């Protein structure tokens, strides 16, 4: 049995711009502590599923909260030349879409270990919105399916391959065997929490901050 899926997902709409050194204004300590410059971590963040593009970031942010991402964006925006920031889910992109040359890659999956409650909350169906699932953007679809199946439910629309993140797929469109009937994933989202390019956390839907909602869903700009 299927249910309507409210995918309230954390999306980070991040700024893209020319990179310069990070030393112009000292990095706040709490942010610096979460920036990883380990060569192996940098190397992993420099490639993706396609193995066509290779672009090295200066560091990888291991966020433990949404504020960490907002702080990174605010720090970048405080510089004369903000650096490139890119969110990274499972890096199943094929043309470097989750890379940040000389910038900072945000390892979104790191958030999973720091949520105050589960990153996947299935509604009890008593809300006027009916059944939905509230999901962190870093979550994998396979885990969303496992959580909803415990209640005999699944999202209406899914990707065929489920080891992808919610945020990464909603940046594209997300298609699978059910799309012919229920539309792509992006057509089944009720609400999003978005960290914008000016470092604000904004809740948006088709009726609230709808310009942001529609800009984020399927809003990936392909880098060529």
Ligand X SMILES: Cc1cc2nc3c(=O)[nH]c(=O)nc-3n(C[C@H](O)[C@H](O)[C@H](O)COP(=O)(O)OP(=O)(O)OC[C@H]3O[C@@H](n4cnc5c(N)ncnc54)[C@H](O)[C@@H]3O)c2cc1C
Q: Does 11 bind ligand X (CB under 6 A)?
A: yes
Q: Does 71 bind ligand X (CB under 6 A)?
A: no
Residues 213, 31 contacting (CB under 8 angstroms): no
The closest alpha carbon to 90, from 142, 133, 135, 54, belongs to 142
Q: Does 172 bind ligand X (CB under 6 A)?
A: yes
Q: Which of 19, 84, 107, 159 binds ligand X (CB under 6 A)?
A: 159
From residue 24, alpha-carbon distances to 15, 37, 76, 84, 159 in Å are 18, 19, 10, 15, 43
Q: Does 188 bind ligand X (CB under 6 A)?
A: no
Q: Which is nearer to ligand X, 151 or 220 (CB)?
A: 220
Q: Which is nearer to ligand X, 53 or 220 (CB)?
A: 220
Q: Which of 57, 89, 155, 199 binds ligand X (CB under 6 A)?
A: 89
Residues 92, 68 contacting (CB under 8 angstroms): no
Rounded to the nearest whole angstrom, what is the least distance from the CB of residue 124 to ligand X in the complex? Answer: 26
Q: Does 108 bind ligand X (CB under 6 A)?
A: yes
Q: In the 3-class helix/strand/coil scheme, how is 48-91 assigned residue by residue?
A: CCCCCCCCCCCEEECCCCHHHHHHHHHHHHHCCCCCCEEEECCC
Q: Does 199 bind ligand X (CB under 6 A)?
A: no
Q: Which stretch binds ligand X (CB under 6 A): 57-65, 125-133, 141-149, 172-180?
A: 172-180
């Amino acid at each position: 049995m299927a249910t309507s899926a409210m995918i309230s997902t954390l999306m980070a709409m991040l700024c893209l711009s020319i990179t310069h050194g990070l030393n112009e204004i000292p990095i706040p300590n709490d942010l610096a502590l979460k920036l990883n410059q380990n060569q192996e971590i940098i190397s992993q963040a420099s490639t993706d599923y396609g193995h066509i593009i290779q672009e090295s970031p200066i560091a990888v942010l291991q966020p433990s909260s949404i504020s960490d991402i907002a702080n990174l964006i605010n720090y970048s925006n405080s510089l004369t030349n903000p650096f490139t920031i890119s969110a990274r889910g499972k890096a199943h992109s094929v043309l470097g879409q989750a890379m940040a040359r000389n910038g900072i890659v945000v390892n979104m999956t790191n958030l999973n270990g720091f949520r105050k409650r589960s990153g996947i909350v299935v509604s009890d169906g008593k809300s006027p919105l009916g059944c939905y699932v509230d999901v962190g953007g870093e979550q994998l679809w396979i885990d969303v399916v496992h959580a909803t199946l415990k209640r005999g439910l699944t999202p209406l629309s899914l990707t065929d391959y489920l080891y992808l993140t919610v945020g990464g797929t909603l940046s594209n469109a997300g298609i699978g065997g059910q799309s012919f009937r229920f539309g792509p994933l992006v057509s089944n989202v009720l609400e999003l929490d978005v960290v914008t390019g000016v470092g604000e956390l904004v809740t948006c839907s088709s009726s609230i901050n709808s310009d942001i909602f529609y800009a984020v869903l399927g809003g990936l700009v392909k880098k060529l």
